[in-house]
A and B are shown apart, each in its own frame.
Chain A
Amino acid sequence: MSVLLSARGLRIAFGGLKAADGIDLDVMEGEFLAIIGPNGAGKTTFINMATGYLKPQAGQITYAGRNILGMTPRQIVRLGVARSFQLPQLFTEHTVLENTALAVAAREGVWSPFAPLLRPRFRREAEEVLDRFGLLPLAGQRADGLNEGARKLADIAMAVALRPRLLLMDEPTSGVASADKMGVVETLARVLRQSGVTAVFVEHDMDVVARFADRVAVWGQGRIMALGPPEQVLNDPDVRRDVIGIGPGEASHAAA
């Protein structure tokens, strides 16, 4: 397995808070890597730095052997790195289908002003993606009319429609009703495995982590406290006390 995304010595601080204080982390091609840790630890900040939204104050980030530090989100997504958001970022006045089709169009090149967005090819592909997420029945609804769980899924579907090689997901299951959670993750994992996508996801639900992550990274005090297979990391007494002990339940809905 080769390294797809590599971070070395990442540092960033907001005021006095050191969100990243020397982060070294490699994401291997094809794996599902979960990042866990207390709220406000800097997990979202990692995704923001890897996608070009925030610039680290020090350190290196390479993707597929290429230095992506200083690139804009637009350049990085063109290289095949997509992301989803903790708070779904949908075009609220568009339908779910249009949202997804716009992602398809974004990948194919948006500058074709004479054919409609919902041209047969884009529409078909968008419908395929939505179908895989079980969102097809909602395709015609406006995005601002969806419930939180569906918004979350639509947000991920848009990222998947970009056909990324690496997908970074910020709390993909927050907002999804707990009864549906495993089903949703099951679907998501199948979609990603089928298309051979490498995935990094920030997650608070340890059951989800245990079941789907190939490796788990524990983020705390701006550092990677532990890294390894879930059965090893999640049973580590320090991790149990510092991370899991805080309890995902009461914390997972607050802002990270």
Chain B
Amino acid sequence: MRRAGEVLLVLLAAALVLVVAWTVPWLRFVLTIALAKGLAVLGILLLLRAGQVSFGHALYLAFAAYAIAFGAARVPETLLLLPLAAIGAALLGLLVGLFVVRYREIFFGMLNLALSMVFYSLLEKFYSITHGTDGIRLPPTTFAGQVLDPETQGWAMLCLALLLSILFAVLVRIYLASPIGQALAGIKTREARLEFMGISGRRVLLSAYVLSTLMAGCGGAVLAMTTRHVTPALSYWTASGELVFIAILGGSGSVAGPFLGAVAYELTRVYAAALVADAWQMVLGAVLLLVILFAPGGLWGMGRALVGRRRQA
């Protein structure tokens, strides 16, 4: 019964995204970007369950985005590049993860930040390969060998982002309910006990870390193929901060939170930039402050509180 309701809710949300993109064409692009970021934020949510904050997950997003940029110059095929870029990000995540899961709290956060900043400077400094801060422009990618007109291409990217979002949201939910997912939440409250039960907190965290980098990789790939322009700014620490921002804005109580947060974030950004061009960042900061001070459960928590109140009444 409950499951049927949830499936319905997901389908409704997906339909809503498509309808909005169809009625307001310029929002199609915004929604695709939002879903792509939502994928990366889903990874942040995983790590938040373990009580850890990564201030460097933009690294994996940027890594996959640049992988797409380099790959598209040779074989511009979406269905080939996307999995390759995502798996590449996950492999990098495994490598980095083996190192960073030994650390907790600020050391975990700062090491992630440090590594993403290293990647940022590599992108910025090796001009001959990366074109520095100018970044790289991408040719349009094909779908299964088909060259699509820009309109269809836009729809294809949105549908791809939507599919990936649903797929990973379901996957993360299953993972969080599983023994590993529950042990992951145990890292936050009593990691020492895990060891005395025979569970390695580090391995549990590593599994979540790699999954989070895989999702960030998917997000980065979609982002690169949608904006068709990648720059080092993707990897700057403020981009990672943005991901944590969205996680809190959406609420960490549900796998729907990241996507809700990402859509709200992108819309606020677009409108703030249009209204107060010089102070859009300030508007976002103020929104974040209001959310933390008055709705620490994020948008998802707010929605649930509203529904709960109505049921009670």
Give the complex CA separation of A91 and B186 in angstroms.
6
Contact A102 B179, beta carbon cutoff 8 Å: yes
Contacting residues of chain A (43-73) with chain B, CB-CB under 8 angstroms: 51, 53, 72-73
Q: Is the CB of A113 within 8 A of B180?
A: yes
Binding-face segment, B33-41, B133-141, B188-196, B281-289: B188-196
Q: A115-B178, A117-B179, A117-B182 are in contact. Are A110 and B199 (CB under 8 A)?
A: yes
Q: Mark B164-196, 1 if CB is under 8 A from A, else 0.
A: 000000000011011111110110111011111
**Which residues of A have CB within 8 Å of B207?**
113
Q: Report Cα–Cα, A113/B195, bound state, in Å.
A: 19
> Would A93 and B180 count as touching, CB distance under 8 A?
no
Q: In the complex the two chains form, is A73's CB within 8 Å of B196's CB?
A: yes
B178, A116: Cβ atoms closer than 8 Å: yes
Q: Kindly report which residue of chain A lies nearest to residue B197, judged by CB atoms.
A: A106
B255 CB, min distance to chain A CBs, angstroms: 15
CA distance A107 to B183 in the complex (A): 13
Of the residues B174, B175, B178, B198, contact of A74 by C-beta under 8 Å: B198
| Contact for B198 among A53, A78, A93, A98, CB less than 8 A | A78
Q: Mask for B202-238, Cβ within 8 A of A = 1, else 0?
A: 0010010000000000000000000000000000000
Contact partner of B178 among A83, A112, A158, CB < 8 A?
A112
Of A72, A90, A102, A162, which is within 8 A of B182 by CB?
A102
Q: Residues of A contacting B200 with CB < 8 Å?
A: 74
CA distance A122 to B179 in the complex (A): 10
| Interface size class, chain A | 20 to 34
> Is A77 on the interface with B (CB-CB < 8 A)?
yes
Q: Which residue of B lies closest to A83 (CB)?
A: B196
Q: How far is the CB of A231 from chain B (nearest CB, A)?
A: 34
Indicate whether A94 reaches chain B with its CB closer than 8 angstroms: yes
Residue from A92, A106, A115 with most neighbouring chain B CB atoms (10 Å): A106
A106/B177 contact (C-beta < 8 A), A89-B190, A90-B193, A94-B182 known: no
Give the CA-CA distance A98 to B200 in the complex, in Å. Answer: 18
Among A72, A92, A102, A111, point to the contact of B197 (Cβ < 8 A). A102
Closest to B192 in A: A89
In the complex, whether A35 has a CB less than 8 A from a CB of chain B is: no
Q: How large is the interface on B (under 10, 10 to 19, 20 to 34, 35 or more residues)?
A: 20 to 34
- Taking CB as reference atom, which chain A residue is nearest B177? A116
Identify which of A93, A113, A114, A116 contacts B185 (C-beta below 8 A): A93
Closest to A118 in B: B177
Q: Contact mask B240-276 → A, CB, 8 Å, 1/0? A: 0000000000000000000000000000000000000
- A102-B183, A107-B198 given as contacts; is B178 within 8 A of A91 (CB)? no
The reply to whether A93 and B199 contact each other, CB–CB distance below 8 Å, is no
In the complex, what distance in Å separates the CA atom of A107 from the CA atom of B197? 7
With A93-B188, A113-B174 as known contacts, state yes or no: A72 contacts B195, CB within 8 Å.
Answer: yes
Decide if A82 is an interface residue (CB 8 Å cutoff): yes
Asked if residues B186 and A114 are in contact (CB atoms below 8 Å), the reply is no
The yes or no answer to A103 lying at the interface (CB within 8 A) is yes
Pair B197/A103 contact, Cβ less than 8 Å = yes
- Say yes or no for A150: interface residue by CB 8 A criterion: no
Chain A residues in contact with chain B, CB under 8 A?
Answer: 51, 53, 72-74, 77-78, 82-83, 89-94, 98, 102-103, 105-107, 110-118, 122, 158, 162
In addition to A73-B195, A111-B179, 16 A-B residue pairs with Cβ atoms within 8 Å of each other are A74-B199, A77-B197, A78-B198, A89-B193, A89-B196, A90-B189, A90-B193, A91-B193, A94-B185, A94-B189, A106-B183, A106-B198, A107-B198, A110-B179, A113-B181, A116-B177
The 6 closest A-B pairs by CB, nearest first: A105-B179, A106-B197, A116-B177, A89-B193, A110-B179, A77-B198
Chain B residues in the interface with A (C-beta under 8 A): 174-175, 177-183, 185-186, 188-190, 192-200, 204, 207
25 pairs from A and B in contact (CB 8 Å cutoff): A72-B195, A74-B195, A74-B199, A77-B196, A77-B197, A83-B196, A89-B192, A89-B193, A91-B186, A93-B185, A93-B189, A94-B189, A102-B182, A102-B183, A106-B197, A106-B199, A110-B183, A110-B199, A112-B178, A113-B178, A113-B180, A115-B178, A158-B193, A158-B197, A162-B198
